[in-house]
Amino acid sequence: MKKTIFITGGAGFIGSHVVRLFVTKYPTYRIINIDKLTYAGNLENLKDIENESNYLFEKADIVDANVINNLFAKYKPDGVIHLAAESHVDRSISNPTEFIYTNIVGTVNLLNAARLIWEDNLQDKRFYHISTDEVYGSLGNEGLFTEETAYDPKSPYSAAKASSDHLVRAYNHTFKLPVVISNCSNNYGPNHFPEKLIPLAINNIKNMKPIPIYGKGENVRDWLYVIDHARAIDVIFHNGRDGETYNIGGNNEWTNIDLIKTLCDVMDKKLDRAPGTSASLITFVKDRAGHDLRYAIDSTKLMTNLGWKPSLQFEEGLEKTVDWYLTNEEWLKNIVSGNYQEYYKDMYGSR
């Protein structure tokens, strides 16, 4: 094997696509997926590649420094692609503490472990921290987030991610740890946990349940197909410059209400329903506390310097996503039949 790469959070939504891409594209790499398997981690996401000879899974909590140090000593990775995190803004509002442990302490544990085994030889080593555009805060109606935008996180989730970004940069500055960071906009696509807007709406539309839209649905997000994010991660991991930050976005802004109306039209067609059937489920509910108005990313640096660009138009990606959820009924059923029911009731007041 040419290289050993740790991918943390590889059983989650984005992580599973990154693991699949690396396992299949780089047969000479040994890919080790380190994941605690929280409610969001699901090994079903990796069924198709779990028996590949260059893939290994280690169930571990990144908050446990001893466990993490032992894994680094055992495998001596050349690179780390760090995705493990608590990722849902609403959960960070109801239970912020978990976000501090995983997103901040967990990141520091990984940085310390990498420092320890790499200290004698930093040659060809790389710690790649995957972050979010939410660290930049909220935009008004104009403008885009660039890599120079000042950090201004507004939720416990984004504050914890911002904190981890600062720590990664501090380890680069102070200890010369070779790091790279990317900050991405909203992802969508297969394997997305149905607590997030698009898969939650798909599941509710399928079951003729109300689609909860926070406030007036005027908040704007910039949506990127998850496989395009995984492709960007591949390019940045291999060709990004040490110590640099790259923004990743879809150049694809939608208000929540327009996005959901478009999704409803797609679902009506796929489910052979009369036009307007799914849209009749749209229900405006109490707004998220501190709800960021608008995110939009300027990915010029990544596109110009590293030659990446999104491969899919949104309409095509949305249709592929709906097809995936309608085909993978079992995957969805397994998730929504467990603790999800309790979560949904606490969050939205009914099942």
Pick the binder of ligand NAD from 132, 219, 247, 321 (CB under 6 A).
132
Torsion angle in degrees (nearest 10) through CA of 92, 96, 101, 104: 70
DSSP state letters, 57-126: EEE--TT-HHHHHHHHHHH--SEEEE--S---HHHHHH-HHHHIIIIIIHHHHHHHHHHHHHTT--TT-E
Binding pattern for the stretch 272-301 against ligand NAD, x by CB under 6 A and - elsewhere: ------------------------------
Neighbours of 3 (CB within 10 A): 15
- Check 35, 78, 86, 134 and give the catalytic one: 134
Please give the residues from 187 up to 206 whose contact with ligand NAD meets the rule CB under 6 A: 187, 193
With CA atoms as reference, report the closest residue to 235 among 183, 171, 176, 303: 303
Q: Which secondary-structure segment (H or E) carries 35?
A: strand 29-35
- Smallest gap from Cβ 123 to ligand NAD, in A, equals 27
Q: Which one, 171 or 343, has the nearer CB to ligand DAU?
A: 343
Query: Catalytic residue at 246?
Result: no
- For residue 197, the partner it binds in ligand DAU, ligand NAD, none, with Cβ less than 5 to 8 A by kind, is ligand DAU
Q: Does 102 bind ligand NAD (CB under 6 A)?
A: yes
Q: Does 302 bind ligand NAD (CB under 6 A)?
A: no
Query: Catalytic residue at 157?
Result: yes
- Check 136, 157, 171, 295 and give the catalytic one: 157
- For residue 202, the partner it binds in ligand DAU, ligand NAD, none, with Cβ less than 5 to 8 A by kind, is none
Sheet holding 253-255, edge to edge: 186-188, 220-225, 253-255
Query: Catalytic residue at 325?
Result: no
With CA atoms as reference, report the closest residue to 101 among 85, 114, 115: 85
- In Å, the largest CA–CA distance within the chain is 66
Q: Which one, 13 or 127, has the nearer CB to ligand NAD?
A: 13
- Smallest gap from Cβ 117 to ligand NAD, in A, equals 19
Q: Give the active site residues.
A: 133-134, 157
